Amino acid sequence: MSVCVLKAVPEDFAVSECLGTATVPAGAADHQYLLLTKRGFTTHQAVAAVAAHLGVEREAVAAAGLKDEDGVTEQTLSLRGTASPEQLAAFNRAHDGADYMRLTERGHGDGPVVVGELDGNCFRIVARDLDAATADALRAGPAQHNMFFVNYYDTQRFGVPGGPKQTHLLGGALIDGDDEAAFRLLRESGSPEGGQALAHDGDPAEFLAALDPRVLAFYRCAHASAEWNERLTKLVADEGGADTVETDREGLRYVLPRTPAAAREVLRAAPELGCGRYRWTDGKMRYTESPRPTVVQTRVRVLGVRPDDRFPDRWACTLSFFLPSGCYATMAVTQFFQQLETV
């Protein structure tokens, strides 16, 4: 398998959220929609920063999905109430720099954006450190590739870049009511809230209770995601057989299809598997289960193959594609190059 480097710089990984929001005249609305463009911040950090800047409760600011901190991303936030142009300009000035957050008004509506209503995301990704054989295959191949990929939760679901991949363990501790274990794992996580936990020398339960409940819901969801991945791993190994390869990604085990046919066999055997989800809604932590696709089909455009300006004597290319909500572009790109050798 050709191994590529993703996210060599944040600008290599551009994400634009696709979310249809019905708008109404400002005077008839109780929510304002804001376009957030960010680099170097998590969505949770952005939501907290917007709420703090405007002096509103954290739950007055909502997002429909989470976006990578190690990319340049665009997404819609909703605000209960209205921020003035002067407030938005002041926020942008306060969060300008190499890493930044910028807010732009994009309309008004009757309600907040809601997790689960996101249509998907458009990606424009630079894959680097490619060998000459891969570059030749890309140049010789079509401009658009129709591909099927196994829809795993990728490693960023389970930890911040460069940190330990154990958010699923933290979520399991929360589900079990083991506050001390959850607090210890949080302090090891390298996340923004983990940094806050390192500075806290009081009661673990007290600290956890003060966190945004939506952050705690995220950790619980990570536990459910790990369980789903484990079931999918077995399915891929059983159905793909010899056309699969086992790989370690940052300490996490994945079994990937080596051919498009192997991915389609997984789809044939089980198009969906039930996946648990935790949400903080109406002041309560709620658990639901819904089907998640085991295999996703997309079209990948290859926009250019060129010498890599960051890795000498290697090659780079730009890939553009759309994925439904909940899919991981890093996993799609990994399998794109895995299957490229067999097409």
Task: Look at residue 343 in the predicted model and tell me its pLDDT.
Answer: 53
Distance from C-alpha of 338 to C-alpha of 343, rounded to nearest angstrom: 10
What separation, in Å, do the N-terminal and C-terminal C-alpha atoms of the chain show? 13
Domains of the chain: 20-109 (3.30.70.3160), 171-213 (no CATH)
pLDDT tens for the chain, 343 residues long, are 468 999 999 999 999 999 988 888 888 899 999 999 999 999 999 999 999 999 999 999 999 999 999 999 999 999 999 999 999 999 999 999 999 999 999 999 999 999 888 999 999 999 999 999 999 999 999 999 999 999 999 999 999 999 999 999 999 999 999 999 999 999 999 999 999 999 999 999 999 999 999 999 999 999 999 999 999 999 999 999 999 999 999 999 999 999 999 999 999 999 999 999 999 998 999 999 999 999 999 999 999 999 999 999 999 999 999 999 999 999 999 999 999 875 5
How crowded is the C-beta side of 262, counted as CA atoms within 13 Å?
22
Question: What pTM value is reported for the model?
Answer: 0.93
Angle between helices 329-340 and 260-269 (to 10 degrees): 130
Task: Look at residue 1 in the predicted model and tell me its pLDDT.
Answer: 47
Helix (H, G, I), strand (E, B) or coil at 97: coil
Distance from C-alpha of 343 to C-alpha of 336, rounded to nearest angstrom: 10
Task: Look at residue 116 in the predicted model and tell me its pLDDT.
Answer: 82
Distance from C-alpha of 48 to C-alpha of 167, rounded to nearest angstrom: 20
